[in-house]
Amino acid sequence: MNVGVISDTHGLLRPEAVAALRGSNLIVHAGDVGRPEVLDHLREIAPTYAVRGNIDTQAWARKLPATEAVAVGSLVLWVLHDRSELDLDPVAAQFAAVIFGHSHKPSIETQDRVLYLNPGSAGPRRFKLPVTVARLRIVGTSIEPQIVELDV
């Protein structure tokens, strides 16, 4: 199973991000979507789960959950926008991964056998940070994360 992970589009879905997410079986958007059309375009690629970010304040975005548990095979991914708002124990909840955005800084780390993944920002460039998305390759209970820097 291939999972595409994107965040902080801020209303801009770059063609390079679309190309990097092609072939995904599902897509996770970790908030700061910016415009509903971003999700419409992602849904053309694969089923898409999205959470609300701090800029998602318009009427359409109120329908997005603040957090989402996404089942991928036998694994469950916990998705929220801002990691500092994580208010549960992912180990006790048996989540395989916590997916988040907000900082625009891509990162992959593991703590207590839980993957913490920030795909970075795929929208407008912020400071000198790279423009990125992420991919997860899931086989059984194994997750192989990859940050993909977009050539923009």
**Mean pLDDT across 113-119:** 98
At 113, the amino acid letter reads R
Determine the Cα–Cα distance for residues 1 and 93; give it in Å rounded to an integer. Answer: 22
Determine the Cα–Cα distance for residues 109 and 114; give it in Å rounded to an integer. Answer: 8
Residue from 24, 21, 16 nearest 6 by CA: 21
Where are the domains positioned within the chain?
Answer: 2-122
Judge whether 133 and 119 are in contact, CB under 8 Å.
Answer: yes
Instruction: For residue 90, list its beta bridge partners.
Output: none
HSE (CB half, 13 Å, CA atoms) of 77? Answer: 30
Per-residue pLDDT at 11 exceeds 90:
yes
Residue 47 phi/psi, 5-degree rounding, is -55, 135
pTM over 0.75: yes
Determine the Cα–Cα distance for residues 32 and 53; give it in Å rounded to an integer. Answer: 4
Per-residue pLDDT at 48 exceeds 90:
yes
- Only one residue has tokens 């209970």, namely 141
* CATH number assigned to the domain with residue range 2-122, chosen from the 4 options 3.30.1370.100, 3.40.50.410, 3.60.21.10, 3.40.50.170: 3.60.21.10
Note the pLDDT tens digit of each residue in 50-88: 999 999 999 999 999 999 999 999 999 999 999 999 999
Write out the two tokens for 17: 């991000």
Determine the Cα–Cα distance for residues 131 and 115; give it in Å rounded to an integer. Answer: 21
What pLDDT score was predicted for residue 126?
A: 86
Per-residue pLDDT at 127 exceeds 90:
no
What pLDDT score was predicted for residue 26?
A: 98
